[in-house]
Amino acid sequence: MKKLLLIIGGGFLLIIFLGVVGKNTPTKQPTSQVKVEKQEEEKIAFVFDIPSLIGKNIDEIKKDLDSYKKKFLEPTSDQIKLGVKEWEVEFEKDGKSLLVTYDIATKRVKDFFISSDDPSGKTKDKNHLLELGNLKENDSRYKIEFVKTLKDPSSFTGVKISPTLKYEYEILSRVEGKTDENISILIKVGEADPQGIASEVQKSCKKQCNISLFDDKKAFELDAEYTNKMMSYNVTVAEREAWKKKNTVFLADHLVATVGYSFGPYAEYPLKDSYYRELKSEK
């Protein structure tokens, strides 16, 4: 009987011992899981979230990145008169540099440039440059260009990001007064969304503004001629009427839309009125 109890007791102690040892023995992680976790630790977080800036104008970007903006000078009126059309703003965050080039007249961003953060000023690691800006090479919202160094084409000074343009247009004229702006825009013939272009241009207005959209540059020139010349006191009523009879149909066909504080709400082909229809029927 004692022998039986000793055997049972010994077996019970062995079970307890194995249980304790089992609890204290570390569980070995699969090798693949360890590698994934290590890669995640090594992967850097982006510094500039470029995709979130796509579609914004320079004023909106300055607001978003205000705390990272480096000191810079705005273009002067003299520089603009001399023909300067583009300007740059630089931002710096965590020792990384972002340069934004924009159109002065429209305030549309032309491109972003993220410099290599390597002390040498260059790198061969494209993935690292992409990670700095939270970028993907196949994103349809923008185009990627790795800028090569002059002496070593296999190395890059940084990456340039050019937003894919939603709208194509040209500012033909921007006349700024004390309290208002008058902006004339050239759009392509058959533009599907002229109102969208007008709305985008309105974002760049510093003051209350009037916007005219033309799809032919000649129509813009005729409109300017009528305003600056035909409304002069030196022009007789007969001369003015003759000019209107000759040019109104063409001008009305190519003044696609107007919007603004003096024009009123957005309106397409505003000159196609009864006088236009009368002239049209005569031809």
Residue 19: pLDDT over 60:
no
Band of pLDDT at residue 203, cut at 50, 70 and 90: confident
Band of pLDDT at residue 210, cut at 50, 70 and 90: very high
What mean pLDDT value characterizes the chain?
86
At residue 6, the pLDDT reads: 42
At residue 16, the pLDDT reads: 45
At residue 282, the pLDDT reads: 82
Region of poorest pLDDT, from 3-12, 98-107, 249-258 = 3-12
Using CA atoms, how far apart are residues 220 and 206, in angstroms rounded to an integer?
A: 23
Q: What is the pLDDT of residues 252-265, one digit of tens each?
A: 999 999 999 999 99
Using CA atoms, how far apart are residues 75 and 86, in angstroms rounded to an integer?
A: 9
Residue that the structure tokens 């062995």 belong to: 14
Single-letter residue type at 229: K
Q: What is the pLDDT of residues 24-46, one digit of tens each?
A: 555 555 555 544 454 444 455 78
Cα atoms in the Cβ-side hemisphere of radius 13 Å centred on 206: 12
Q: What is the pLDDT of residues 125-143, one digit of tens each?
A: 999 999 999 999 999 999 9
Beta sheet of 169-176, edge-to-edge order: 169-176, 180-187, 208-214, 255-260, 264-268
Band of pLDDT at residue 5, cut at 50, 70 and 90: very low
Distances (CA, A) of 198 to 40, 167, 184: 45, 10, 10
Residue 154: pLDDT over 70:
yes
* Residue 226 C-alpha from the chain's centroid: 36
Region of poorest pLDDT, from 44-48, 102-106, 169-173, 195-199 = 44-48
Read out DSSP for 179-208? Answer: SEEEEEEEE-TT-S-HHHHHHHHHTT-SSE
At residue 71, the pLDDT reads: 76
Which distant-in-sequence residues (6+ apart) come within 8 Å of 272 by Cβ? 252, 253
Break the chain into its structural domains and give their ranges: 50-163, 169-282
Single-letter residue type at 69: K
Residue 272: pLDDT over 50:
yes
Band of pLDDT at residue 8, cut at 50, 70 and 90: very low
Which distant-in-sequence residues (6+ apart) come within 8 Å of 17 by Cβ? none
> Does 83 or 212 have the greater pLDDT score?
212
Residue 90: pLDDT over 90:
yes
